[in-house]
Amino acid sequence: MACSTAPVAPPAATPSTAPASSAAASPSAASVFPGSPDPTRAPGSGGAPSDAPSPPPSESPPTPHPSPVGAVPATIDATRAAALQAALDDAVANVPLPGLSVAIRLPTGELWTGVSGLASLQPPRAVTTETVFGVASITKTFVTALILKLAEEGVLSLDDPLARYLPDFPRAGRITLRHLLTHTSGVFNYFESP
């Protein structure tokens, strides 16, 4: 799942004014995170919305600065947390994957963590917030984004030799970060190693 930094609408109701049916009070994932898929829209329906109520538009802009690094973030309100958990449960139920663990920090600094499904099918073991997932090739996207950000900030250069960071790596003096990021380094594919 992707996380957007778009402004977030307030919850549909506060705990003191929430209707008796929590399902009717829960905003959809699209209203919690604008631009995200709306689980209240049936697949193949041409995007026709369900009869689920929509939350009111935002009355005040979100706080422009997230909590500082190391600060203990505020937690998301119960209504929004219920909507996020419902979206997570829906994803596990309707997408061919056994389980998910998600952490979301809003631009306001609020934090939500949720889990759904199984970490292991045999034997069945539930996902927890401590479950470690292998993310395979998606790490290339994360690492590339971080390296480019560090290059933009002047912390490193794409033309730095690998030897600056891993001096004992074979041929590290001839390989640059740019080579690694563009898959032109000539480094052996260790997955094919016997």
Could you give the C-alpha distances from 143 to 6, 33, 167, 177, 182, in angstroms and in order?
23, 25, 20, 11, 12
Is 137 among the residues known to form the active site?
yes
Name the active-site residue from 137, 157, 185, 193: 137
Q: Which residues are CB-contacts of 106 (< 8 A; sequence separation ≥ 6)?
A: 8, 62, 66, 76, 112
118 neighbors 131 (Cβ within 8 angstroms) = no
Cα separation, 15 vs 78, whole angstroms: 7
Active site amino acids:
137
